[in-house]
Chains A and B, each alone.
Chain A
Amino acid sequence: MLKLPAGSPGARILAFGHYQPSNVVTNDDLAKTIETNDEWVRSRVGIAERRVAGPEETEIDLAVQAGGKALAASGLSPGDIDLVIVATCTLEAQIPNGAGRVAHRLGISAPGAFDVNAACSGFSYALANANDAIRAGSATNVLVVGVEKLSQWVDWTDRTTAVIFADGAGAAVVVPSPTPGIGPVVWGSAGDKADAIQIKDRDSFLQQEGQTVFRWATTALHPVAREACARAGVDPAELAAFVPHQANLRIVEAIARKIGADNAVVAKDIVLAGNTSAASIPLALSRMIERGEVPSGGLALLLGFGAGLTYAGQVIEIP
C-alpha cells in the first residue's frame, strides 16, 4: 500500500499583502478620450477611479510586489514556502506561467508553482487549492496571489469595458493550523454562458454582455454565498466582513442585501480600485485590514464570480 503524508487538520491565512500601480485614472481622465462622464460611471458601475500600470510595469511585477508584502507581513522567509499559486487570466502570454516567475523573483526556491484561470473567481479557487494542499500534506506553506493587468486586454476606446477594468494584485500566505481557518469551498460554473465574458482570440479585447452578467450575478450567487456559510457552520449574521469580487458596486450591494450578513462590513473597494478580476478579493480585504475596518479573528465570506462563468466562495478567519 502507498504511503500518504499525515497532512494538517486545517489551514489558515497568516497574512495578506496588496499592491496597486501608482498611476490613478479618474472617470474624468477617461472622459477625455471616450464618450462617458463621472456621474454615469459612478451610478452604473460605482467606480470613482482605478489604477492602471504602464508598459514599464509587468503583471509579474504587480504579483511580486503583493506577494512580497504578504510574505513580509507573515514573518515567514521565502524558504518556508513550498507552493506558489497565481490566480490570473490576463498574462501577456500563455507560456510560461506566472507562478514560477513570481516565486523566483521572491527568492522562493523550487516550490510547486502553477496558475489558476477561473477569471474573477480565481482567488477563491486558488485559496481552496492551497487549503486542500496543506490539509492533504502536499504542501506546508503556500503563497497565493491574485493578480491582473487587465489594461493590456482592454480596448481603451470601448466605453463598456474601459470604465470598468483595472490593474492590481493581492496575496495571502496560507499555513497549517490545528483548527480550520478556511472553510469548505462552494464552487461551480455555468458554461452555457461562456460567451458572456470573453476574449475571442489573441487579437481581440475583453468583451462583456453587461446585462447577462448583471442578471446572473444578482440572481444566482446569493444562494452560493449562503451555502458557503452553511457548509462552514456559520450564520451569515456572524460574519464580520463580506468580500465579494468587486465587479460592480450595484452587484456587490444586491448580493449583500440578499445574504443576511447584517453585521458585516461589505467590501466596496471597487470605488477606488475598479474591477481587478482575480485580484479584487485579496486587494479589497488586505486594504480593509490595513485600515483597521475588520477585526483580526473575525469571519469573512469571500465570493468570487466571473468569466467562465465560474463562481466560488468560502468563509475564512481574518488574520
Chain B
Amino acid sequence: MATTELEILNGLGKIINEITGIPASEVTPEKSFVDHLDIDSLSMVEIAVAAQDEFGVEIPDDQLKHLKTVKDVINFIQN
C-alpha cells in the first residue's frame, strides 16, 4: 500500500519528536537533519530504525549517510 508524502512526513515528525524532543511541527521536508535540526549520527540511526518499524522500509547505514534532508528520507521510503 502506497503511503502519501504527508503521511510519511507526519510519521517522521512523531518519530523525531520522540527521539530528539524536537517539535514535530519543525520537521518539514526542506529541513536538513544536521544543519537545521541539529540531529547527530546516532540519533539518525535511531530514527532510521523507528522509521523501519513504522513504514516497513529498511534504511541501511550506507544509504542513511546520503539522506541529508527530511525530503530525502521521504523519497527513500516512497521509492
Contact = CB atoms under 8 A, between A and B. Distances in A.
B49 A43 contact: no
A44 B46 CA distance: 13
A218 B46 contact: yes
B35 interface: no
B45 A215 contact: yes
Select the residue from B40, B42, B44, B48 with max chain A CB neighbours within 10 A.
B42
Select the residue from B44, B45, B49 with max chain A CB neighbours within 10 A.
B45
Interface of B: 40-42, 44-46, 48-49, 61, 64
Interface string A164-188: 0000000000000000000000000
Contact of B61 (A212, A218, A254): A212
A211 B41 contact: yes
Contacts of A211: 41-42, 44-45, 61, 64
A44 B40 contact: yes
A212 B45 CA distance: 9
A219 interface: yes
A50 B36 CA distance: 32
B49 A44 contact: no
B61 A215 contact: yes
Contacts of B41: 210-211
A248 B42 CA distance: 11
A211 B41 CA distance: 7
A222 interface: no
A250 B49 contact: no
Name A's interface SS. Answer: helix
26 contacts: A43-B40, A44-B40, A44-B42, A209-B61, A210-B41, A210-B42, A211-B41, A211-B42, A211-B44, A211-B45, A211-B61, A211-B64, A212-B61, A214-B42, A214-B45, A215-B45, A215-B48, A215-B49, A215-B61, A218-B45, A218-B46, A218-B49, A219-B49, A248-B42, A250-B42, A254-B46
Contacts of A209: 61
Contacts of A210: 41-42
A209 B42 CA distance: 11
Interface in A34-85: 43-44
Contacts of B40: 43-44
A209 B64 CA distance: 14
Given A210-B41, A254-B46, 20 more contacts: A43-B40, A44-B40, A44-B42, A209-B61, A210-B42, A211-B41, A211-B42, A211-B45, A211-B61, A211-B64, A212-B61, A214-B42, A214-B45, A215-B45, A215-B49, A218-B45, A218-B46, A218-B49, A219-B49, A248-B42
Nearest to A250: B42
Interface string A202-222: 000000011110110011000
B43 to A, nearest CB: 9
B18 to A, nearest CB: 11
Contacts of B64: 211
A250 B41 CA distance: 12
Contacts of B42: 44, 210-211, 214, 248, 250
Nearest to A251: B42
A248 B44 CA distance: 16
A43 B48 CA distance: 19
A221 B42 CA distance: 17
What are the 5 closest A-B residue pairs judged by CB atoms, nearest first? A211-B61, A215-B45, A214-B45, A211-B45, A214-B42
A210 B41 CA distance: 9
A43 B42 CA distance: 10
Nearest to B48: A215
A210 B61 CA distance: 10
A43 B43 CA distance: 11
